[in-house]
């Protein structure tokens, strides 16, 4: 696919007005206040994952509505003290998979929490372990359209709340410095990272690659690729539902969250990305609430963006702002 969105020189100036509902802040304050009525961590059980250099726990924390959400928590083995942590969010259709799948951040010296996606895990990867007991409101059957007729019923109200609670949970786990927590993710995970940065004011950093749920109104006009295409498909059948759907989506748009973010931000996007169009990522980037922000672009890449090259940029950028553990001593175990 050739570049189909705005040229780079226009993307670098693209800062559209994406209005938030008048009660946006009150909506999320109420939602998170209800979720935080319960202590975040329910259990943390050590697991044997076949990795001598990594210690791993199977964590369950209280997400939206107090429902249990699963996560993998890992630390570099033999490293004492409280470490900075990275909370990572997975892409659309993925679950947390297996504990040995995502080792970049823990191998870099960070504590690492990988959150499961409630009700997802059946499209890619190695599955998930978190059902969504709150599903069932009117709307489509895929996550992006579940409950889309009401902000209170919408699936992403629940998943974004889970993502915030994942930060609460990692801060409560032993061996983590609660003042040094970053969030990271690609695609849907990137959208969640942007949302959490707008809802948790004291994060140390935010890293989002090809973020989903940004400038949604534009995205659904540019691409038929899933997940945005699932919204268009739903509205193609439910023709009178568009005003309700647009109203609901305005409560989860990453541009509104980005405006409220205060943590340093690192972005990446492929300019041939037909899944999360580059202009939507730039809309969030230019709205992002601090000047300490960086954007990497990859002109000949699609949704994969910079892949491992971009990960190296992330490691260097985060290491400069949030230094990780430097000493590993497996023999001390």
Residues serving a catalytic function are 187, 273, 303
Helix or strand (DSSP H, E) at 170 = helix 155-172
DSSP state at residue 118: T
Q: Any idea which residue has 């990572």 for tokens?
A: 88
Beta strand residue intervals within 116-195, DSSP E: 176-186
Tokens representing 108 are 């870099």
Give the burial class of 81: count Cβ atoms within 10 A of its Cβ; 0-12 exposed, 13-18 middle, 19 or more buried.
exposed
Contact 281, 271 (CB under 8 A): no
Q: How far apart are CA 72 and CA 107, in angstroms?
A: 15
DSSP helix/strand/coil, 109: coil
DSSP state at residue 108: T
Q: At what angle do helices 155-172 and 188-199 cross, to 10 degrees?
A: 70
Contact 176, 82 (CB under 8 A): yes
Q: How far apart are CA 253 and CA 217, in angstroms?
A: 9
Tokens representing 109 are 């010296």
Please state, as a whole number, how many other Cβ atoms lie within 10 Å of the Cβ of residue 317. Answer: 17
Contact 84, 326 (CB under 8 A): no
Query: Taking Cα atoms as reference points, which of 264, 272, 242 lies closest to residue 317?
Result: 264
Contact 194, 261 (CB under 8 A): yes
Contact 191, 214 (CB under 8 A): yes
């Amino acid at each position: 696919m050739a570049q189909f969105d705005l040229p780079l020189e226009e993307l670098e100036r693209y800062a559209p007005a994406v209005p938030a509902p008048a009660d946006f802040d009150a909506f999320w304050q109420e939602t998170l206040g209800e979720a935080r009525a319960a202590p975040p961590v329910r259990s943390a059980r050590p697991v044997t994952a076949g990795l001598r250099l990594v210690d791993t726990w199977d964590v369950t924390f209280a997400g939206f509505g107090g429902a249990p959400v699963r996560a993998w928590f890992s630390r570099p083995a033999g490293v004492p003290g409280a470490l900075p942590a990275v909370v990572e969010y997975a892409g659309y259709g993925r679950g947390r998979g297996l504990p040995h799948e995502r080792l970049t951040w823990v191998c870099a010296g960070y504590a690492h929490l990988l959150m499961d996606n409630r009700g997802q895990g059946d499209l890619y990867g190695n599955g998930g372990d978190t059902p969504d007991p709150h599903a069932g409101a009117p709307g489509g059957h895929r996550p992006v359209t579940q409950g889309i007729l009401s902000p209170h019923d919408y699936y992403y109200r629940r998943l974004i709340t889970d993502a915030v609670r994942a930060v609460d949970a990692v801060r409560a786990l032993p061996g983590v410095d609660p003042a040094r927590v970053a969030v990271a993710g690609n695609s849907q995970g990137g959208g969640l990272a942007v949302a959490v940065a707008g809802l948790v004011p004291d994060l140390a950093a935010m890293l989002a690659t090809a973020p989903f749920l940004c400038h949604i109104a534009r995205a659904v006009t540019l691409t038929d690729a899933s997940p945005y295409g699932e919204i268009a498909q739903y509205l193609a059948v439910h023709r009178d539902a568009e005003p309700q759907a647009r109203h609901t989506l305005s409560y989860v748009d990453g541009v509104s969250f980005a405006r409220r973010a205060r943590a340093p931000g690192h972005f990446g996007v492929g300019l041939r990305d037909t899944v999360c169009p580059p202009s939507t990522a730039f809309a969030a980037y230019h709205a992002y609430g601090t000047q300490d922000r960086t954007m990497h672009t990859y002109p000949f890449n699609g949704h994969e963006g910079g892949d491992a090259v971009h990960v190296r940029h992330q490691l260097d950028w985060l290491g400069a702002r949030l230094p990780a553990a430097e000493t590993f001593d497996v023999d001390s175990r």
